[in-house]
């Protein structure tokens, strides 16, 4: 409804100030909005481009009131924001996604239970809170299996792959030493053929749009590269998109969602997890789509019409992880990268830490194969031991 649109000049609040928040703020500024960023870390990248910055913890009630006073609508870039804060905020301002959706998605067990209760396919799973529960879950699901903390994991952190009894021992120790109330999920390990992801944007009226299916490759639990379009049949692409749309609709999600999928060996698709925000695997949209995932986040937060999701050319996105970033910030590295036509670099301006996502490069070309070749040559270069 046109009367509910927040017009340019309004202030959009974002909970979390990492690179996703910074990219959201960039899109918002371009479209004429002001941005209030709330992240306790004063060095969080989005603070640098915020109109208003808040660096108190999310539990600070005074800042909560100020933030709600300044922001005309609120979104988030991180799913580990306290759900109760979102629930309170949505009593005062439009909050997209809602606290209720966040509550489901920020807990791996709640999420899998929700999806499977709606007949949406996920890997077999079990709740684990103690050693006997772990043993009976392994009896039921078999090995290999993956044990994950129910909350707060990212980039493969807080996950243990169980292949044999030695691995089981390690997780048993973890359970024995854990704080009371800590929950884990044990999941059947899926021998997938490929990992896919689909961005779905859905507004309050249930109108949605969907981006092309992306194919992802992880290394040591961290996303290494994403290519689009995925090298899958039209049938699998259609099924992936439909399943993702169905999942976001089942959640009654309003906002930008990324549905991560496994394509199993028998061709079937399983939902790995759903992020209630733009996603690393959707960064290509900044360079090869007319409307990026961040612009969609602005649009859906403001009640504007959703944008088109057309892919202008094939792309492969490569993450710069930890020290790898030096290979593009050194003089030689910067020169080499900027001499490559079709390479778009994005640096997040964070302190280097091992395993941390420091930036990404999107390689584009008229043909998928050419983009892939550029990306793979680049990966070889950045992974060369110093």
From candidates 195, 215, 225, 295, binder to ligand ATP by CB under 6 A: 195
Token pair of 170 as six digits: 């390690």
- Interface positions, 260-279, toward Mg ion (CB under 5 A): 260
d(CA 219, CA 1): 44
Q: Which is nearer to Mg ion, 260 or 295 (CB)?
A: 260
Is residue 154 a contact residue for ligand ATP (CB under 6 A)?
yes
From ligand ATP, Mg ion, none, interface partner of 223 (C-beta below 5 to 8 A by class): ligand ATP
Token pair of 12 as six digits: 């959009």
Q: Which is nearer to ligand ATP, 15 or 146 (CB)?
A: 146
- Distances in Å between the Cα of 233 and the Cα atoms of 91, 246, 263, 269, 313 are 45, 20, 12, 13, 18
Is residue 121 a contact residue for ligand ATP (CB under 6 A)?
no
Is residue 87 a contact residue for ligand ATP (CB under 6 A)?
no
Cα–Cα nearest to 312, from 211, 165, 225: 211
Is residue 261 a contact residue for ligand ATP (CB under 6 A)?
no
Q: Which is nearer to ligand ATP, 29 or 356 (CB)?
A: 356
From candidates 155, 167, 172, 373, binder to ligand ATP by CB under 6 A: 155
Exposure string of 239-272, with b = 16+ CB inside 10 Å and e = fewer, is bbbebbbbbbeebebbbbbbbbbbbbeeeebbbb
Is residue 260 a contact residue for ligand ATP (CB under 6 A)?
yes
Is residue 107 a contact residue for ligand ATP (CB under 6 A)?
no
Q: Which is nearer to Mg ion, 88 or 160 (CB)?
A: 160
> What's the full length of the chain, in residues?
386
> Which residues have CB under 8 Å from 86's CB, separation 6+?
15, 74, 76, 95, 98, 99, 102
3-state secondary structure of 244: helix
- Interface positions, 328-347, toward ligand ATP (CB under 6 A): none
Token pair of 348 as six digits: 């997040």
d(CA 352, CA 361): 17
Is residue 218 a contact residue for ligand ATP (CB under 6 A)?
yes
Token pair of 157 as six digits: 């952190």
Applying CB under 5 A, which part among 100-108, 175-183, 257-265, 360-368 lies near Mg ion?
Answer: 257-265
Q: Which is nearer to Mg ion, 106 or 364 (CB)?
A: 106
Token pair of 166 as six digits: 């030695």
Footprint of ligand ATP on this chain (CB under 6 A)?
123, 146, 153-156, 187, 189-190, 195, 218, 221, 223, 260, 272-273
Footprint of Mg ion on this chain (CB under 5 A)?
260
């Amino acid at each position: 409804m046109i009367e509910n649109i927040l017009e340019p000049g309004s202030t959009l609040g974002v909970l979390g100030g990492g690179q996703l928040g910074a990219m959201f703020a960039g899109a918002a500024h371009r479209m004429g909005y002001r941005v209030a960023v709330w992240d306790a870390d004063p060095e969080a990248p989005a603070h640098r481009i915020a109109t208003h910055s808040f660096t108190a913890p999310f539990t600070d009630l005074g800042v909560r009131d100020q933030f709600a006073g300044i922001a005309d609508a609120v979104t988030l870039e991180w799913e580990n924001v306290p759900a109760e804060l979102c629930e309170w905020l949505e009593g005062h301002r439009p909050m997209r996604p809602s606290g209720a959706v966040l509550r489901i998605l920020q807990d791996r067990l709640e999420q899998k239970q929700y999806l499977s209760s709606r007949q949406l396919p996920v890997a077999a799973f079990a709740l684990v809170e103690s050693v006997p529960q772990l043993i009976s879950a392994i009896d039921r699901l078999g090995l290999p299996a993956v044990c994950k903390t129910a909350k707060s994991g990212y980039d493969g952190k807080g996950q243990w792959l169980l292949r044999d009894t030695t691995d089981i021992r390690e997780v048993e120790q973890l359970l024995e030493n854990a704080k009371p109330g800590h929950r884990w999920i044990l999941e059947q390990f899926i021998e997938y053929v490929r990992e896919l992801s689909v961005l779905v944007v859905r507004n309050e009226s249930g109108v949605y749009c969907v981006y092309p299916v992306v194919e992802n490759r992880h290394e040591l639990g961290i996303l290494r590269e994403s290519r689009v379009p995925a090298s899958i049949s039209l049938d699998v692409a259609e099924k992936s998109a439909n399943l993702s749309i169905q999942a976001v609709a089942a959640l009654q999600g309003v906002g930008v969602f990324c549905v991560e999928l496994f394509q199993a060996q028998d061709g079937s698709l399983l939902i790995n997890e759903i992020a209630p925000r733009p996603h690393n695997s959707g960064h290509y949209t900044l360079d090869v789509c007319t409307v990026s995932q961040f612009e969609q986040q602005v649009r859906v937060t403001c009640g504007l019409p959703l944008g088109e999701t057309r892919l202008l050319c094939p792309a492969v996105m490569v993450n710069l992880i930890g020290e790898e970033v030096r290979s593009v910030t050194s003089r030689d590295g910067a020169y080499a990268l900027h001499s490559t036509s079709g390479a778009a670099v994005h640096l997040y301006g964070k302190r280097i830490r091992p395993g941390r996502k420091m930036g990404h490069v999107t390689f584009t070309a008229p043909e998928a194969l050419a983009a892939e070749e550029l990306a793979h040559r680049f990966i070889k270069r950045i992974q060369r031991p110093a």
